Structure 1
Amino acid sequence: MQPTLLILAAGMASRYGSLKQIQQFGPSGETIIDYSIYDAIRAGFGKIVFIIRESFEKEFKEIFEPKLKGRVATDYVFQDMDSFIGKYEVPADRTKPWGTAHAILCAKNAINEPFAVINADDFYGADAFVKMADFLKGEAKADIYSVVGYELGKTISEHGSVSRGVCAVDGAGFLSAINERTKIYSDNGVIVYEDADGSKHELSAETPVSMNFWGFDPSVFDLSQDLFYEFLENSRSNPKAEFFIPIVADEFIKRGKGKVKVLPTSAQWFGVTYKEDAPGVQASLNELVAKGAYPNNLWK
């Protein structure tokens, strides 16, 4: 069975103002999502499921359906505030979506096979898709999930601090903990993270970090539903609280339900954390095309 790729794109319109302006980085106008889908198809993924908002469904399909028709199966799922909330009600002051783990839960009825999850606006690199596809085809089970571990030094922005899920990995290559460090940056050639009190701690450039590229068995949906109800019970009155994927991974490990394998990659990650990052992303993609890693036009 071919695995599925779930792309978290519900936040796109708010970031770009309008989908008409989805940023084009490739030599033939490709977006970052185009490269992820291209890499996924090459690695053996059989279906692409997009998590979007219903308000931009028509625009979104106009962008992606012509390219993907006949190449890969596609499906579209909406992340609505009242999806999968059971007996709970959406608080009147809540405007923010419930978070990335809720986005996954919204895809429950569209996915029945092992699947990977990625952000729409991050470039993950071909190697990461190959490793994830191999894991999903051969190792994913109800008690074994995975996350791609990037080398921290290959995920830093020159234009400001970044937030990363820093992975602690045990001797067998499984995740023992994931700590969200919200302020990581290069300080005179050394990578550091800052605590809330301003104290600095050094991190090695090889430290594995999560860039939200996860591999799951469909069993994650039931776990996510249970945890989401717990989240709503405890945190729904906080308008800024979010239900994130690492919360699910963490509880999966803590509750003894299984293990999360860290899939190391040497791939260069890039994304647009700051608008100043955009020219660098464009230059990096042009360089990969020049080297022959990608064709000049992905969908020709």
Structure 2
Amino acid sequence: MTLLLMAAGSGSRYGKLKQFDDLGPNGEFLMEFAIYDAIQNNFEQIVVITKKENVSFLEEHLSKRLPKSIKLNVLAQELTDLPDGVTFTGERKKPWGTAHAVWTARNVINGPFVVINADDFYGQAAYKKAADFMKADANAYALLGYTLKDTLSEHGSVSRGVCEVDGDNLVSVQERLKLVQKADKIVDEDTNLDFTGDEQASMNFWVCRPSIFDKIESEFRQFLKDDERIANSELYIPLMIQEMLQAKEIEVKCIPSGGDWFGVTYASDKEKAMNSLKEKSDSGKYPAPIWS
């Protein structure tokens, strides 16, 4: 089993590269808690997707800390990483998107894997549930869901994928771009739709299979033929999975994570995150330092 962490973002709202901010009580990155939780649940490989200029630093940082039995791959997401036979000679500054970040790992992942954001904390229970699912089902995909009201920020609106489910089957994920708490309900200021807060939300914790790589490559080839999409769009991993789901190519389960989530969208979220990690370490949920 593999954990793939997406750590190629720029942290524009946070103000710096939050993936490498020392939020843990002993200077740990937030992603180190995710890696620790995965290893505790018998994940054998860690793959980190980052910017080219961060590869050497991150590889050195993690290789000094992880158990020697764990396979580590730190890969660069690059604009020049294209499907065979495809060229791109235009101009583009931002990456191709989260689906392309996952596709970057196509040559190092051979089995089931979890995809997460490197700058989110997902809770220890989520990794156990993901591991149990991958061991029990050889083919299905899954989304680890979080209760919508528990994923908001006190410091501004947030974008969340709100799930539609049928039993334990995921039907769709609808992106809501400006969710805020107003009195006893949650409102999307972009559409004026409101939610109870008890809905399951996607925080980009996906259980995937290697079949996703072929889907991404196929979509990427079409993407690169469209000048408007090249100029204004990105390839998103939830969209790839949703298209496969709607085409009945895969089955996707929605599994309540049973854990607490927090992220660091804004710089003002940092103190809360640091306090939470310290509390978890002080209570014995994590060793301190985490790699002692």
- 1:43 match: 41
- 2:232 match: 240
- Aligned partners of 2:92, 2:85: CA distance in 1, in Å? 17
**Cα deviation digits, residues 88-145 of structure 1 (max 9, x gap):** 433533111000001111111000011110111111110111111111122141xx21
- Aligned partners of 1:30, 1:244: CA distance in 2, in Å? 28
TM-score, normalised to structure 1, is 0.91
- Aligned partners of 2:239, 2:91: CA distance in 1, in Å? 23
- Aligned partners of 1:256, 1:97: CA distance in 2, in Å? 29
- Aligned partners of 1:236, 1:64: CA distance in 2, in Å? 39
Q: Residue 206 of structure 1 aligns to which amino acid in structure 2?
A: D
Shift of 1:291: 2.2
- 1:78 match: 76
After TM superposition, list the pairs within 5 Å mapping 1:124-203 onto structure 2.
124-141=122-139, 144-171=140-167, 173-195=168-190, 199-203=191-195
Aligned residues between the structures: 291
2:97 and 2:234 in contact (8 A); partners too: yes
Shift of 1:292: 1.9
Q: Identity percentage over the alignment?
A: 40
Distance 1:266 1:237, change over 3 A: closer
- 1:289 match: 281
User: Structure 1 stretches of 5 or more lacking a match?
Assistant: none
1:125 and 1:268 in contact (8 A); partners too: yes
Shift of 1:249: 0.9
Shift of 1:50: 1.1
TM-score, normalised to structure 2, is 0.93
**Cα deviation digits, residues 51-100 of structure 1 (max 9, x gap):** 12222222112221111141521112221112133444335331110000
Shift of 1:190: 2.3
- Aligned partners of 1:117, 1:67: CA distance in 2, in Å? 21
Q: Residue 108 of structure 2 aligns to which amino acid in structure 1?
A: A
**Cα deviation digits, residues 200-254 of structure 1 (max 9, x gap):** 2221222101111111111111122112212222356542300001111111012
- 2:57 match: 59
Q: Residue 111 of structure 1 aligns to which amino acid in structure 2?
A: I
Q: Residue 115 of structure 1 aligns to which amino acid in structure 2?
A: F
**Cα deviation digits, residues 17-62 of structure 1 (max 9, x gap):** 569x921111111111010000000111111011122222221122
Q: Does the residue aligned with 1:239 lie in a helix, a strand or coil?
A: helix
- 2:66 match: 68
- 2:4 match: 6
User: Structure 2 stretches of 5 or more lacking a match?
Assistant: none
- Aligned partners of 2:122, 2:276: CA distance in 1, in Å? 12
Further displaced range: 105-114 or 290-299: 290-299
Q: Does the residue aligned with 2:64 lie in a helix, a strand or coil?
A: helix
- 2:114 match: 116
Could you tell me which of 215, 225, 228 is aligned with 2:217?
225
Distance 1:236 1:80, change over 3 A: farther
Q: Residue 117 of structure 2 aligns to which amino acid in structure 1?
A: N
1:95 and 1:239 in contact (8 A); partners too: no
**Cα deviation digits, residues 133-165 of structure 1 (max 9, x gap):** 111122141xx2111111111111000000011
- 2:22 match: 24
- 2:208 match: 216
- Aligned partners of 1:51, 1:236: CA distance in 2, in Å? 26
Q: Does the residue aligned with 2:206 lie in a helix, a strand or coil?
A: strand
Q: Does the residue aligned with 2:210 lie in a helix, a strand or coil?
A: coil
1:235 and 1:241 in contact (8 A); partners too: no
- Aligned partners of 2:196, 2:273: CA distance in 1, in Å? 24
- Aligned partners of 2:230, 2:242: CA distance in 1, in Å? 21
Q: Residue 201 of structure 2 aligns to which amino acid in structure 1?
A: V
Q: Does the residue aligned with 1:293 lie in a helix, a strand or coil?
A: coil
